[in-house]
Amino acid sequence: MTSDHDAQHFVAPREEIPLLPADPLNVEATHRSLWADAWWKLRRRPLFIISSLMILMIIVVVLFPGLFTQTPPNENCHLANSAGPPVPGHPLGFTFQGCDVYSRIIHGTQASVAVGLLSVSGVLVIGVTFGAVSGYYGGWIDAVLARLSDIFFALPLVLGALVVAQLPPVRENKSVWTVALVISLLGWPQMARITRGAVLEVSNAEFVTAAKSLGVSKFGTLARHVLPNCMAPVVVLAPLELGTFIVTEATLSFLGIGLPQSVMSWGQDIAAAQHLVRTDPMILIYPAVALSITVLSFIMLGDALRDAFHPNSRRRSRKR
Amino acid sequence: MIRYLLRRLLQTIPVLIGTTLLVYYMVFALPGDPIAALFRDKQPPQSVIDDLRNQYHLDEPFWIQYGAFLVNLLTLNLGNDFTQQPVASTLARIFPVTAMLAVEALIIQAVFGVTFGLIAGLRRGRVFDSTVLVVSLIVIAIPTFVLGFVFQLVFGVRLGWAKPTVGANADWAALVLPATVLGLASFAYVLRLTRASVIENKKADYVLTASAKGLSGPRLVLTHILRNSMIPVVTYLGANLGSLMGGAVVIEGIFNVPGVGNKLYQAVLRGEGPTVVIIVSVLVLVFVVANLLVDLLYAWLDPRIRYDK
């Protein structure tokens, strides 16, 4: 692509004008990789800067909840305060059980973000492995894995999770880990399809043929040359799925099949506040806002990454 | 065309078998007695237990159980659920309600998503475009059930524009509020896909040709830009039917819609294995058929696509 484009500018009638690039072009400049180019573009995008700052903030909340609130989330809950309005020291009021809403939101961040991160890690492991193997080896492996991903794709995530979460081994050991396991077991096909597509595209590249002809083993070529070059769509999809999975956890907890009561999470708090929605809607709205802001920041990051990696926007910006 | 259709139909068979097998296996073969789960701490008479075990072949090996289930499913002999209600008549009663809800949601998200996406794509970078993009991001980030509660509270209770809950008599008008909530979740994706696709097609050669020939206005926009931009959108709408059905479980609960999602949720909580398996199988069947229809739509949207090689 690059060479074609440069050639267009260099080809000019020789007798009329000397052979010069039409655009001012720094020929000495070092070549930037796809990643460096994406990073160079990302640093200048407000969407990326805002979403990174928001995610940084969320990480700080996850690691040091004590920085944001001194009120313990589950102690000093007095039923006299049940669904009470905000008072000094308790900026967002009290839950039905008389606990501090703000403190519960701050401490609930950990579980929600942990489920999201663990689910995405699971999906990355399953999806990238299956996608890479089926795209690279092809043949019957591809056929089997494609049918397998069709099967899981045809089973909507929430419906499947509803069934899996009711199984006795899962139901009796509800935790952050089981919820993440259920989500990753059902949520991988999208990642697998994207990886497979990228691997198919890269497999025919010249550097892959070169690696093969130099005697690198088939698996070595896949691991060292093909996979690192198909990471762009994976990196774009990962934060988007992270956001989706945080919502899924909240949905499952809302249905009563997600995290156990003992784990504080936004989904739990929203579910616990649902019968108060007509009288004290804000108890439900506050954790929902926290959830939405978190999801929003990951989706924005995914959006910014997509713009930076997308080949079309690359071409457009170079022409300009 | 016929050959393509046949091949696609054949391809759906392993998917259907695989999905039902997966769900059936999880419900019936993993540890835990479904009969015991049904009665919880109550002790039914032994004759009732034997009857139920016999009816669902629970004492037979797994493959015979599954085979009997598959035969019954294909012959539409769905049997009775654990409370001795015929599953087929229950489904016949509740399925149209969910179908109505899903179709209404699909129409809402398609009409609004495509319209806003088209306008945003044609006026790229203007105020409308940026506003719509920001709003769509926010809509994506809000979970469906929160949206459900907020809409119920604002439009149902406070403003009184619609009934806050649907109840027994579900018709098109009564389902507007839940369908809007259900459609809104995916509306944002439809909008963004349409916008991206329109932006790409605006510069396509055939659009330049058409406008060079003097074509402009609605005909250029609708038949040359929009129609060619529909393929990713229609693909998404087909694939999205799955999340619509998942969302239906949540939304039907909030708005008290007597539909499949509500029934499925209750069946899962009660441990009614056979009902769960049948409902999920039917939903998967609908999903697979819908995506087949989407594939057939491609040729109509883009005449360059031919199914016979």
Provide mean pLDDT across the span B180-190.
Answer: 87
B112 and B142 housed in the same domain: yes
Provide mean pLDDT across the span B23-37.
Answer: 68
Provide mean pLDDT across the span B95-110.
Answer: 88
Residue B81: pLDDT above 90? no
Q: Provide the pLDDT for residue A313.
A: 44
CB contact under 8 A, B246 and A156: yes
Give which of A239, A240, A246, A260 is closest to A116, Cα–Cα.
Answer: A246
Site from B17, B24, B144, B146 to mutate, A interface, most A CB atoms within 10 angstroms: B146
Residue A102: pLDDT above 50? yes
CB contact under 8 A, A167 and B145: no
Residue B159: pLDDT above 70? yes
Which is higher by pLDDT, B74 or B253? B253
d(CA A9, CA A27): 13
d(CA A235, CA A239): 7
CA A260, A265, A267 angle in degrees (round to 5)? 85
d(CA A125, CA A185): 11
d(CA A9, CA B34): 73
Residue A211: pLDDT above 80? yes
Q: What is the pLDDT of chain A when averaged over all its residues?
A: 80
Q: Which of A147, A288, A293 sits opposite B14 (nearest CB)?
A: A147
Q: Provide the pLDDT for residue B201.
A: 85
* A231-253 pLDDT, tens digit each: 888 888 888 899 889 988 888 88
Burial category of B156 from C-beta neighbours within 10 Å (exposed 0-12, middle 13-18, buried 19 and up) = middle
Residue A314: pLDDT above 60? no
Residue A274: pLDDT above 60? yes
Positive or negative: CA dihedral A100, B147, A167, A147 = negative
d(CA A286, CA A282): 6
Residue B45 located in a structural domain: yes
Q: Provide the pLDDT for residue B19.
A: 84
Strand partners, A100: A94
B43 and B151 housed in the same domain: no
Q: Provide the pLDDT for residue A128.
A: 92
Structural domain span for residue B41: 19-74
Residue B301: pLDDT above 60? yes
B70 and B97 housed in the same domain: no
Residue A153: pLDDT above 90? no
Q: Does B135 touch chain A (CB under 8 A)?
A: no
CATH code of the domain containing B141: 1.10.3720.10
Give which of A281, A312, A157, A65 is closest to B199, Cα–Cα.
Answer: A312
Residues of chain A whose beta carbon is less than 8 angstroms from a beta carbon of chain B are 147-148, 150-151, 153-160, 162-164, 166-169, 243, 247, 250-251, 254-257, 270, 274, 277-278, 281, 284-285, 288, 291-293, 295-296, 299-300, 303, 312
The two tokens of residue A238 are 């990962």
Q: Provide the pLDDT for residue A8.
A: 52
Residue A2: pLDDT above 50? no
Q: What is the pLDDT of chain B when averaged over all its residues?
A: 81
The two tokens of residue B119 are 């306008």
CB contact under 8 A, A251 and B143: yes
Q: Are B97 and B84 in contact (CB under 8 A)?
A: no
CB contact under 8 A, B246 and A151: no
Instruction: State the smallest CA–CA distance between residue B32 and chain A in angstroms.
Output: 6
Phi, psi of A194 (to 5 degrees): -65, -45
Our count of domains for chain B comes to 2
B95 and B211 housed in the same domain: yes
Q: Provide the pLDDT for residue A123.
A: 94
Which pLDDT band, with edges at 50, 70 and 90, does A1 fall under?
A: very low
Give which of B6, B24, B10 is closest to B71, Cα–Cα.
Answer: B24
Residue B278 located in a structural domain: yes
Residue B10 located in a structural domain: no
Percent of chain B with pLDDT over 90: 3
Say which amino acid occupies B184. Answer: L
Which pLDDT band, with edges at 50, 70 and 90, does A318 fall under?
A: very low
Residue B61 located in a structural domain: yes
Q: Which CATH superfamily is domain A126-320 in?
A: MetI-like (1.10.3720.10)
Instruction: State the smallest CA–CA distance between residue B215 and chain A in angstroms.
Output: 27
Residues 270-299, chain B, touching A (beta carbon < 8 A) = 271, 276, 280, 283-284, 287-288
CB contact under 8 A, A166 and B271: yes
B152 and B278 housed in the same domain: yes
Q: Which of B22, B30, B276 sits opposite A169 (nearest CB)?
A: B30
* B3-15 pLDDT, tens digit each: 877 887 887 888 8
B104 and B39 housed in the same domain: no
B259 and B183 housed in the same domain: yes
Q: Are A177 and B42 in contact (CB under 8 A)?
A: no
Which pLDDT band, with edges at 50, 70 and 90, does A12 fall under?
A: low
d(CA A158, CA B247): 8
Q: Are B128 and B120 in contact (CB under 8 A)?
A: yes
CA B147, B148, B153 angle in degrees (round to 5)? 100
B208 and B292 housed in the same domain: yes
CA A27, A33, A34 angle in degrees (round to 5)? 125
Site from B8, B10, B15, B181 to mutate, A interface, most A CB atoms within 10 angstroms: B15
Give the helix ranges, DSSP H, for chain B.
Answer: 2-24, 34-39, 46-55, 62-74, 87-122, 127-141, 144-151, 176-202, 205-212, 217-219, 227-254, 260-270, 273-301
Phi, psi of B58 (to 5 degrees): -70, -15
Q: Provide the pLDDT for residue B38.
A: 63
Residue B11 located in a structural domain: no
HSE value, Cβ hemisphere, 13 Å, CA-based, for A319: 9
When computed from its CA atoms, the radius of gyration of chain B, rounded to whole angstroms, is 23
Residue B14 located in a structural domain: no
Residue A121: pLDDT above 90? yes
Q: How many other C-beta atoms can be found within 10 angstroms of the C-beta atom of residue A190?
A: 20
Provide mean pLDDT across the span B20-25.
Answer: 82
Q: How far is CA A101 from CA A69, A92, A273, A279, B55, in A?
A: 11, 6, 11, 16, 50
Q: Which of B26, B143, B242 sits opposite A247 (nearest CB)?
A: B143
Phi, psi of A84 (to 5 degrees): -75, 160
Which pLDDT band, with edges at 50, 70 and 90, does A118 fall under?
A: very high
Give which of B54, B61, B19 is closest to B35, Cα–Cα.
Answer: B54
Provide mean pLDDT across the span A264-281.
Answer: 82
Give which of B225, B240, B244 is closest to B117, Cα–Cα.
Answer: B225
Q: Provide the pLDDT for residue B116.
A: 92
Site from A55, A58, A145, A162 to mutate, B interface, most B CB atoms within 10 angstroms: A162
- Residue carrying structure tokens 């098109």: B172
- CA diameter of chain B: 83
B26 and B157 housed in the same domain: no
d(CA A52, CA A41): 14
Phi-psi bin for B256: left (phi > 0), alpha (psi -120 to 50), beta?
A: left
Q: Provide the pLDDT for residue B186.
A: 85
Q: Provide the pLDDT for residue B34.
A: 62
Residue A7: pLDDT above 60? no
CB contact under 8 A, A254 and B250: yes
B24 and B95 housed in the same domain: no
What does DSSP assign to residue A30?
P
Site from A151, A237, A268, A312 to mutate, B interface, most B CB atoms within 10 angstroms: A151
User: What does pTM read for this prediction?
Assistant: 0.82
**Coil/strand/helix, residue B82:** coil
Q: Provide the pLDDT for residue A127.
A: 92
Q: Does B6 touch chain A (CB under 8 A)?
A: no
* A35-81 pLDDT, tens digit each: 777 788 788 888 888 889 999 999 988 888 777 777 777 776 777 66
B218 and B281 housed in the same domain: yes
- Residue carrying structure tokens 């399953």: A126
Residue B244 located in a structural domain: yes
Give the helix ranges, DSSP H, for chain A.
Answer: 2-10, 34-42, 46-63, 101-137, 139-154, 157-165, 168-171, 176-187, 189-203, 206-213, 218-221, 231-254, 266-273, 281-309, 311-319
Residue B1 located in a structural domain: no
Determine which of A215-219, A222-226, A312-316, B116-120 has the lowest per-residue pLDDT on average.
A312-316
Provide mean pLDDT across the span B95-105.
Answer: 88
Residue A228: pLDDT above 80? yes
The two tokens of residue B2 are 């016929």
What does DSSP assign to residue A100?
B
B251 and B288 housed in the same domain: yes
Provide mean pLDDT across the span A111-136.
Answer: 92
Alpha-carbon B83 to chain mean position: 27
Long-range pairs for A306-311: beta carbons < 8 A, 24 or more residues apart:
A306/A236, A307/A41, A307/A45, A307/A47, A308/A37, A308/A38, A308/A39, A308/A41, A308/A42, A308/A45, A308/A48, A309/A34, A309/A38, A309/A232, A309/A233, A309/A235, A309/A236
Q: Provide the pLDDT for residue A122.
A: 94
- Residue carrying structure tokens 């043929």: A209
Contacts of A257 in chain B (CB under 8 A): 268
Q: Provide the pLDDT for residue B302.
A: 73
Determine which of A25-29, B16-20, B107-111, B116-120 has the lowest per-residue pLDDT on average.
A25-29
